[in-house]
Structure 1
């Protein structure tokens, strides 16, 4: 019983910050350890010499937005900078021939900025970050490890041989079976309609949870009308 009690206190301290940190630390370990352990690191691609100036411009904007998030003096500034960085990434998607993904990115970034701003203002969160230097270094290390892990994993995945059988199936039968000329739309709403329904349900539930969160009134605001009513009753 004592062992389980102490283990529970260590593993489940009741702080959301600890759970988030532990989750992303495990994700980083799962991504990076196999790559280094089994020597599966991808080859780093060379930087293209003929990159157009407009593509390079939006890459610079995305990187600048990232540094603005890291050096922001307030949470609101960080949220806005994060939105700018996301919009730059959406334009990059558009330039590289993925308009559907770019549109989704634009929508997500717009909603993220609005929702995060509403939550911060309605919940009366502290405008600045009060974490200590040690906590900031730990969080930044885990964030860099996660980003590096995902980047290396995706680069390694693109180096593997690609099986075209599923692509050929969708290209062949999207119009014959689903009667749709847009293969992407057919995949989303027909072949993988159940997945799309689940994703929509998750987004809807998340939106309802956020709506309930921003509609919470602080305790002081709830006590104020009650005190006013009592004073009026006492006067009468």
Structure 2
């Protein structure tokens, strides 16, 4: 999903952020750093409208993802501030999704940033957003689930933290039954398997021409 956002960035946003950018790779890297710093200033400026600060969070995620490993390290400095937006009750669903997208960009395929997110307790916030009792939209819960997938990717400490949580299992099972049309995968199902709550589907032949798919729970 974050790759699709990056493609949209390349086609529609990059020219806005980097007009007439024809410099060297080093210049390109420095521009990323500069844009990340400017966006970070916007995040911290409480006098700005909330929507502009949320846009800055989203931009940091895009810049951290598209700028490579070093840019993601730079963007990670603002992760605590970015994550704090998730706890603001005044955010609309769309704004909260923008924050989740931004955090996904900073953490995607970046183990150091995933570890930082773990130390911040971001996985706990995501579980709260995904909970069946939370009044947020299904789309927001799906983005929370997607980010939790990113945090678990190749990250044994996070997985160990989540394994055995029956409340998380119930949350994921409820979310797994939603319509994930438009997403590359059903990320609730991915997490259920990753955390050992489900085993991958097994196809069993019951008789001539009769096939059933079974899920064996843990």
Give the TM-score taking structure 2 as reference length. Answer: 0.25
Determine which structure has more spread, i.e. the larger CA radius of gyration.
Answer: 1
User: Which protein has the bigger helix share?
Assistant: 1
Between the two structures, name the one with larger relative contact order (CA 8 Å, sep ≥ 6).
1
User: Which protein has the bigger strand share?
Assistant: 2
Give the TM-score taking structure 1 as reference length. Answer: 0.24
